[in-house]
Structure 1
Amino acid sequence: MIDDAEPAAVHAAGRPPTYTSWLRGRSDDDLAALFAARPDLMTPVPADIAALAARATSRPAVLRVLDQLDRFALQVLEGLLALGDDRLGSGVPGVGRARLAAALPAPAPLLDAALHRLRVLGVVWEDGERLRPVAVLRDILPQPAGLGPPLRALVAGRPAEWLNRLAAGLGLPTGYDGGAPADRVAAELSRPDRLGRLLAEAGDDARQVLDRLVWGPPRGTVSQAGRDVDAASAASPIDRLLARGLLVATDDHTVTLPREVGLHLRGGRLFRRIDAKPPSPTGPRHPPERVTQAAAGQAFTVIRAVAELLELWADDPPGVLRNGGLGVRDLRRSARVLDGDEAGTAVLVEAAHAAGLIAASAEVDGEWLPTPAFDLWLAAEPAWRWLRLAEAWLASTRVARLGGTKDARGRPRNVLGEGLDRRSAPEVRLDVLRTLAAAPEGTAPTTESVAERLAWARPRRQGPAFTDLVQAALAEAALLGLTGLGALAPHARALVAEVDGRTRGPSGNGGPAGHAAEPSGSAAVAALAPELPQPVDRVLIQGDLTAVAPGPLVPELARELALAADVESTGGATVYRFTDSSIRRALDAGRGGAELLDLLDRCSSTPLPQPLRYLVADVARRHGRLRVGTASSYLRCDEPAVLDELVNDRRAADLMLVRLAPTVVASRATRPVLLERLTDLGYHPVAEAVDGSLQLNRPESRRSARQPVGGELAEPAAPGPELRAAAVRAVRAGDEAATSARRPVTAPSADPPRSPTAATLAALGAAVSEGRRVWIGYLDAEGRASSRIVEPARVDGGYLTAYDATQAAVRRFAVHRITGVAEIGTAEPAS
């Protein structure tokens, strides 16, 4: 026999169902929904259903699910845990829906929706008519609904003498003739009529003790809790409760209220209050049109500020700190340029980095520079530019407002540096926007109402860190133009709907946001575009040497005007001012005086003012009269009078000029020094090449060749439908390989004896000729064993070429690594 692997166990008739068998019975759509709701389960793809079940019920994976549940879903889950414990009187795990509904009175549609979500998430499964939570939840939530452990768990392991004394006090047989005393006691105290009589016997003063424990916590502290008492000798209320099993001592100082007693005292109810619906966010109302205008205005300010900041960094980039961040001085300088505060500038910088618009040119001695993506971003429509920034902010794990604070070691955190990542930041931002979207249009929810709703939506994540993230999300949403006057803008509502459509799985749980692939078809862009100022191709040039742009300029005109003028003020309109230096900057970039006047004449809504014409003509006349070359260096000018003036200028004495010819002057200064010094003196020289031609060029637009690095704690992207379907196929194929019944292939006897490898080749050759599938055991190059179901196509050269159903691909297998071959039979899969 050449099958080295044991056949998988066959599911025996009458075997109790398990979570694995329930998962195996789910449809492909159900498994795809599980992967959509819990992407961590398919990273990497499980080998089979058993591996998927083990991963889905592991403690870390279940804790991630619990953090996603709202308060009502948690109440439903705790109700299933409290009522479905197999240590209760019935001894049967799970609980029926009718029993749960009676103990958890809530509208039937809401209860069914919560149960459906828990099943989709895979933390609750069906055992016939009963609903059962996964076993690890018993350890994670040891006091469901504030109830203590079942009585059977409290008395397990207690001495037989103690159990017999308690049974005798309840009027029950002692000893082990009729079964375990613990089981008899637990069954007796599960009867409501019996509990009622015992409570009456204990007295009203004892009932007051129980009332303090009934709604949790179920434990109290008393002195000498483990003392020996019986019904006859009990004097105090605590003694009477201990003697009747209504309280159980768990150590020398602690007594615990059994779950059966707690449920009876609550009248069968699990919670005092059922929070089936989230609280509605409330706050002042504003006209919706004012909200839209305010948010759109801020969105326009953001895209203009980011463009201005990154243009500044392209010309004068800040350095990268040793820890990879942005220096405090550079942040302050950027804030002054944007006429804003450092906190707001930090948000814009982090958003631009998350959007891939800036990156460090190198890890050591690098500079923060725009990336090539910035040029594409500049050429796009304004509404899409805003969308790119907003989506990047939503998906980023970095919290800009942590910049400037200190970490646990006392080291400062820098913007763009380490220590600003928070794994839950994307989810908190999306939850905040969903909360704002739940308010009526134009309503600005108060911070308290937002916190109250989020406390319902994420009850397990409350705390100072969560509160800080919520406050940061509200402030940053206002800064980025998602809200106006505190209310969510229509384009932000559309963005939330789009993100939910891309990331929300069938469970109703949304994950981190993703980037929109194309601007076309975006509802957020369609909602924002009409509210933003449309690009204009005309400016108003005035006699005081200023130009007023009544809106955003088209990219071509914006570049030319930024070259020839300086921005003086921004706001509803941008004011540019023409100066000697700005005109000279355009001329240095290769623009001629006549060319510049023609451009301004074409883009001006009014006739070009005479002072501006004079300014351009005067600067152009003086520009380039002197030419600096490399001798060590020299000056050349076609007008000897200009050189006479320069040689006799006392301010140029440090240049040590020597007249070589009427039109040539030599200097001991190098060419760069000579150029800079003469420019300072107002002579405006230009450099010339060896052949005498002018060297006019605009400063190079510097870009970072490196791509931005994502957040340290960024979550993997949510899998798409195709990837989920492929994962389901792989898991099904792996499960078939692991559970199919296999009939070993016997090596034929011959003289001389055949080797196992020869028998393997014979079995595979027969499968090829007959066109049937076989099971193989295979060892990969690293020695890992796996089970495969393959359809052999060819065997030659020591390799098997076959379609591997486990990985849905055609692969080659080395025959010497095949540990066994077996024919596939049909049998009920193992649980």
Structure 2
Amino acid sequence: MIDDAGPAAHQGAGRPPTYTSWLRERSDAELDALLAARPDLLTPVPADIAALAARAASRPSVVRVLDQLHLFELQVLEGVVALGDERSGRSPHGVAPSALATAMAAPTDRFAAALDRLRATALVWEEEGRLRPVTALRDILPRPAGLGPPLRVLLSGRPLSQLDRLAADLGLPTGYGEGDPADRLSAALCSPDRVDALLDDAGPDARSVLDRLVWGPPDGTVSQARPDADIASAASPVERLLARGLLYVTGEHTVTLPREIALRLRGGRLFREAAPHPPELDGPQRSPLTVTRAAAGQAFTVIRYVEELVEHWAEDPPSVLRSGGLGVRDLRRSARLLDTDDTTAAVVIEAAHTAGLIAATSEVDGEWLPTGHYDVWRVTEPARRWALLASAWLGSTRVASLAGSTDARGRSRNVLGEGLDRRPAPEVRRDVLGVLAEAPEGTAPTRDSIAARLAWRRPRRQGRGFDELLDSTLAEAALLGLTGRDALAPHTRALLDETADGQTVAEAADSATVRALAAELPEPVDHILIQGDLTAIAPGPLVPSLARELALAADVESTGGATVYRFGESSIRRALDAGHGAADLIGLLERHSKTPLPQALRYLIADVARRHGRLRVGTASSYLRCDEPALLDELLGDRRADDLVLVRLAPTVVASRTTRPVLLDRLTELGYHPVPEAADGTMQLSRPDARRAEEHAPDGGLDSPPVPGPRLRAAAVRALRAGDEAATAARTPVAAPPNGPSRPSTAATLTALNRAAAQGQRVWIGYLDPEGRASSHIVEPQRVDGGFLTAYDATRDAVRRFTVHRITGVASLERDGA
């Protein structure tokens, strides 16, 4: 019931309470709690309490909050719906809390907590101490607690002949002489003594029929049901029940057990077993230290995976498929690069994309490249890098574990493509990790015990899709380092707390998540150990500057607790191409190596540097220039270079018909190691261009609106109170001029506003915005000039300007005590 009456109606004495009036009586703290529990009520902010009540009682909003209730809260709510149904015809409406507690047969503290949650979410309201559900629940929960409709509902609408026949068989007056026959029959059949007598009279075989319906579902199927059966002619057990009003025909082959009869057969209990407590979590025991180290080690591995993958994509970016996403070949190539399986590579790629580290340059013929955000992420401390990846995954709708599976049409789901979005994924992830957080310390809950706890926590969100998300969450959480040996890591507990209000770890200057993980990660080192076999060992994560320089001069050979790099001709040449000289490279290695630089490595660097850049490629179509004519003689005599069509122009210059890029690449393949030359004859040495994609806004995350912050909720409560005051305040309209229109003239409006500004009075105004929407405001006029009213608007808690010709009415407000 929504109360949208005007101000006069609100002042009427003896008016029965309504859902709106109950909300109006809530304190500011209670309204704040309501808006925190149901953030959809703030989108947009309702104009007043009546608008808030209408939205809170609407079916979409009620369904949304129902999905947040755990099993026992849902059972208590079903009890309110079943026992407080106003269609039963009983007066007063609703159910007393004590009667509901008796029917629930649950611990007092758990029952009180569940009832407080239902009141706080405004699913249940009170009228004279009795609990009543919002009207929308009648349609959303048509069979509360497995019970059928009330007797009054089943009796209404039936022919008078059937009602009179049933009344006669029960020894009751017929016709309308003593009131409505349906009300009379309903009251009689609600009597426990009469029900017991009718059950005994129907016989034990009829009682067995009811036993199959008593705990639900209340509907049964019969081959043939006669709604006109009477006690004298009833033959079968079902007909005997129909004749005594203990069962009713609701379809051609369907009979239904009334709610009151079922409750009597249940002994007054609503549920066979109430579920006030969640199922226990059981599983193998794990050492907390082992869990922490395992999760931290995996977190470090994920950081390295992302950096290695994105750096490789910066040099050799994969293409975007026409249908969007990443091709299977590119996925497998990435998995080989990371030395892992396709599923792990898919999770890493999706995590990097969700965190904004990679993006497509174009949806058509584009490439997957790092974004500018990656450059910032790369120089951030490792613990914060992981926290950014994990928080992005936690709020993402993408489920990477589904990559490679097929959809309903038989099409394969690609990484970074369509088909991997699951809107409930963020909520399921929080629920799963929340359950892991509830496990006793040292316990790694089994998958079945987690599923049982989630079935209690989210009873309305079960099914095949939910099981799929549960499995993917457990797998991805382990891959990303949120869990270790199937138990929740301490840094993940901190992450859940910090991101509970919708904030990201990046917004927290002093992050508990970063502190917890940083204590377990190895400190970055600025030194390496170079060995005689032309390898270098990094005994831990390298500082970013050294890691970038070493990645130019050496290739990664193996990873793990320590990373092994190998020096070779191609890697040394790569460093020289980037602008390093031989002396610079040797000096870099000597500064950062804890072991002496092997002579073999010095010789390798010197030999590659000696041959590097002796040939220089320019544009003629292209030309070769070399200070050593003998080297050009060798090249001209090399049959492998016949395709370059080389022509000698001078002892130190050779021209070619191929373009400069082709000539550079071909001579590099032949082992001559040329470098490009500028127009002034200098060598052009530079690092490869850092190609970056534009950052794109992340896809929508949570299916439900984010929880508003305390300041926003406080402002919304103030606006609701002010809007409600504007809608319900008693006011005296400004009189229209004699023989004028019913609406006050502009002159009368200006006079009233100027008087209020001079006397410092508050007034009510009706206003039409430019879109034609009408609204009410309580304002304190400051001045009126140029066709505008400048006033403090109590409804919006701000100073505003109103166009005078859009003001539809002005009224003075009654002062307190006037």
TM-score for the superposition, normalised by structure 2: 0.96
Task: Provide the residue aligned with 2:12 in structure 1.
Answer: 12
How far is the alpha carbon of 1:520 from its aligned partner? 4.0
Distance in 2 (alpha carbons) for counterparts of 1:378 and 1:643: 44
Partner secondary structure for residue 283 of structure 2: coil
8 A Cα contact 2:744 2:809, kept in partner: no
Distance in 1 (alpha carbons) for counterparts of 2:743 and 2:16: 45
How far is the alpha carbon of 1:729 from its aligned partner? 1.9
Per mean C-alpha deviation after superposition, the further-off stretch among 370-379 and 466-475 is 370-379
Task: Provide the residue aligned with 1:741 in structure 2.
Answer: 730
For residue 727 of structure 1, the aligned residue among 716, 721, 728 is 716
8 A Cα contact 1:23 1:53, kept in partner: yes
1:277 equivalent to 2:277? Answer yes
Q: Which amino acid aligns with 1:679?
A: T
Distance in 1 (alpha carbons) for counterparts of 2:507 and 2:37: 25
Task: Provide the residue aligned with 1:506 in structure 2.
Answer: none
Partner secondary structure for residue 625 of structure 1: coil
With over 3 angstroms needed to count, the CA separation of the structure-2 counterparts of 1:579 and 1:39, relative to structure 1, is same
8 A Cα contact 1:280 1:438, kept in partner: no
How far is the alpha carbon of 1:128 from its aligned partner? 2.5
Tell me the alpha carbon deviations over residues 528-571 of structure 1, each in whole angstroms, 9 at most, x when there is no partner: 21221221111111111111111110111100000111111111
For residue 537 of structure 1, the aligned residue among 526, 531, 554 is 526
How far is the alpha carbon of 1:109 from its aligned partner? 1.1
Task: Provide the residue aligned with 1:611 in structure 2.
Answer: 600
Distance in 2 (alpha carbons) for counterparts of 1:94 and 1:576: 76
Distance in 1 (alpha carbons) for counterparts of 2:412 and 2:227: 57
Tell me the alpha carbon deviations over residues 289-341 of structure 1, each in whole angstroms, 9 at most, x when there is no partner: 22222111111111110111111111112222233322222212111111112
How far is the alpha carbon of 1:754 from its aligned partner? 12
With over 3 angstroms needed to count, the CA separation of the structure-2 counterparts of 1:482 and 1:713, relative to structure 1, is closer
Distance in 1 (alpha carbons) for counterparts of 2:804 and 2:180: 58
For residue 559 of structure 1, the aligned residue among 548, 551, 562 is 548
Distance in 2 (alpha carbons) for counterparts of 1:110 and 1:299: 39
Tell me the alpha carbon deviations over residues 699-724 of structure 1, each in whole angstroms, 9 at most, x when there is no partner: 01121223243147754432111111
Distance in 1 (alpha carbons) for counterparts of 2:189 and 2:68: 37
Partner secondary structure for residue 164 of structure 2: helix
Partner secondary structure for residue 68 of structure 1: coil
Distance in 1 (alpha carbons) for counterparts of 2:572 and 2:617: 20
Distance in 2 (alpha carbons) for counterparts of 1:245 and 1:76: 29
Tell me the alpha carbon deviations over residues 625-662 of structure 1, each in whole angstroms, 9 at most, x when there is no partner: 12222222222222333223223333323323333333
For residue 578 of structure 1, the aligned residue among 559, 563, 567 is 567
Task: Provide the residue aligned with 1:233 in structure 2.
Answer: 233
8 A Cα contact 1:628 1:685, kept in partner: yes
8 A Cα contact 2:395 2:701, kept in partner: no
With over 3 angstroms needed to count, the CA separation of the structure-2 counterparts of 1:408 and 1:788, relative to structure 1, is farther
Distance in 2 (alpha carbons) for counterparts of 1:537 and 1:519: 28
Identical counterparts, % of pairs: 70
1:648 equivalent to 2:637? Answer yes
Distance in 1 (alpha carbons) for counterparts of 2:645 and 2:185: 111
How far is the alpha carbon of 1:244 from its aligned partner? 1.7
Per mean C-alpha deviation after superposition, the further-off stretch among 212-221 and 608-617 is 212-221
Structure 1 gaps of 5+ residues are 504-512
Q: Which amino acid aligns with 1:321?
A: L
Distance in 2 (alpha carbons) for counterparts of 1:750 and 1:168: 69
* Number of equivalenced pairs: 813
Distance in 1 (alpha carbons) for counterparts of 2:300 and 2:796: 49
Distance in 1 (alpha carbons) for counterparts of 2:521 and 2:126: 53
Task: Provide the residue aligned with 1:509 in structure 2.
Answer: none
Per mean C-alpha deviation after superposition, the further-off stretch among 276-285 and 320-329 is 320-329
With over 3 angstroms needed to count, the CA separation of the structure-2 counterparts of 1:708 and 1:621, relative to structure 1, is farther
8 A Cα contact 1:421 1:713, kept in partner: no
Task: Provide the residue aligned with 1:776 in structure 2.
Answer: 765
8 A Cα contact 1:584 1:619, kept in partner: yes
Structure 2 gaps of 5+ residues are none
Distance in 1 (alpha carbons) for counterparts of 2:47 and 2:327: 48
Task: Provide the residue aligned with 2:95 in structure 1.
Answer: 95
With over 3 angstroms needed to count, the CA separation of the structure-2 counterparts of 1:189 and 1:715, relative to structure 1, is closer
Partner secondary structure for residue 186 of structure 1: helix
How far is the alpha carbon of 1:91 from its aligned partner? 3.1
Per mean C-alpha deviation after superposition, the further-off stretch among 291-300 and 614-623 is 291-300
Distance in 1 (alpha carbons) for counterparts of 2:813 and 2:361: 58
Partner secondary structure for residue 460 of structure 1: coil
Task: Provide the residue aligned with 1:592 in structure 2.
Answer: 581
8 A Cα contact 1:8 1:738, kept in partner: no
Task: Provide the residue aligned with 2:706 in structure 1.
Answer: 717
8 A Cα contact 1:688 1:694, kept in partner: yes
8 A Cα contact 2:41 2:52, kept in partner: yes
Partner secondary structure for residue 88 of structure 2: coil
How far is the alpha carbon of 1:827 from its aligned partner? 9.1
Determine which structure has greater relative contact order: mean sequence separation of CA pairs < 8 Å that are 6+ residues apart, divided by chain length.
1
Per mean C-alpha deviation after superposition, the further-off stretch among 447-456 and 755-764 is 755-764
Task: Provide the residue aligned with 1:57 in structure 2.
Answer: 57
With over 3 angstroms needed to count, the CA separation of the structure-2 counterparts of 1:149 and 1:181, relative to structure 1, is same
Q: Which amino acid aligns with 1:819?
A: T
8 A Cα contact 1:89 1:190, kept in partner: no
Task: Provide the residue aligned with 1:507 in structure 2.
Answer: none
Task: Provide the residue aligned with 1:510 in structure 2.
Answer: none
Per mean C-alpha deviation after superposition, the further-off stretch among 382-391 and 434-443 is 434-443
Tell me the alpha carbon deviations over residues 379-430 of structure 1, each in whole angstroms, 9 at most, x when there is no partner: 1121111111111111111111222333344443322222222111111111
Partner secondary structure for residue 800 of structure 1: strand
With over 3 angstroms needed to count, the CA separation of the structure-2 counterparts of 1:210 and 1:749, relative to structure 1, is closer
1:76 equivalent to 2:76? Answer yes
8 A Cα contact 1:482 1:489, kept in partner: yes
Distance in 1 (alpha carbons) for counterparts of 2:798 and 2:125: 33
Q: Which amino acid aligns with 1:259?
A: R
Distance in 1 (alpha carbons) for counterparts of 2:208 and 2:18: 43
- Provide the alpha-carbon RMSD of the alignment: 2.2
Task: Provide the residue aligned with 1:176 in structure 2.
Answer: 176
How far is the alpha carbon of 1:596 from its aligned partner? 0.5
How far is the alpha carbon of 1:803 from its aligned partner? 2.0
Distance in 1 (alpha carbons) for counterparts of 2:180 and 2:816: 40
Tell me the alpha carbon deviations over residues 13-66 of structure 1, each in whole angstroms, 9 at most, x when there is no partner: 111111111111112221121111111111111121111111111111111111
Task: Provide the residue aligned with 1:758 in structure 2.
Answer: 747
How far is the alpha carbon of 1:600 from its aligned partner? 0.4
Distance in 1 (alpha carbons) for counterparts of 2:273 and 2:655: 94
Per mean C-alpha deviation after superposition, the further-off stretch among 398-407 and 694-703 is 398-407
Partner secondary structure for residue 459 of structure 1: coil
Task: Provide the residue aligned with 2:626 in structure 1.
Answer: 637
Distance in 1 (alpha carbons) for counterparts of 2:415 and 2:796: 44
Per mean C-alpha deviation after superposition, the further-off stretch among 26-35 and 264-273 is 26-35
For residue 659 of structure 1, the aligned residue among 648, 654, 664 is 648
How far is the alpha carbon of 1:7 from its aligned partner? 6.2
TM-score for the superposition, normalised by structure 1: 0.94
Distance in 2 (alpha carbons) for counterparts of 1:754 and 1:306: 69
8 A Cα contact 1:396 1:714, kept in partner: no
With over 3 angstroms needed to count, the CA separation of the structure-2 counterparts of 1:594 and 1:565, relative to structure 1, is same
Distance in 2 (alpha carbons) for counterparts of 1:42 and 1:463: 30
8 A Cα contact 1:70 1:457, kept in partner: yes
Partner secondary structure for residue 776 of structure 1: strand
Per mean C-alpha deviation after superposition, the further-off stretch among 518-527 and 335-344 is 518-527
Task: Provide the residue aligned with 1:689 in structure 2.
Answer: 678
Task: Provide the residue aligned with 1:111 in structure 2.
Answer: 111
Tell me the alpha carbon deviations over residues 677-712 of structure 1, each in whole angstroms, 9 at most, x when there is no partner: 221222211112111222111001121223243147
How far is the alpha carbon of 1:671 from its aligned partner? 1.5
Partner secondary structure for residue 564 of structure 2: strand
Distance in 1 (alpha carbons) for counterparts of 2:12 and 2:57: 24
Per mean C-alpha deviation after superposition, the further-off stretch among 71-80 and 285-294 is 285-294
1:706 equivalent to 2:695? Answer yes
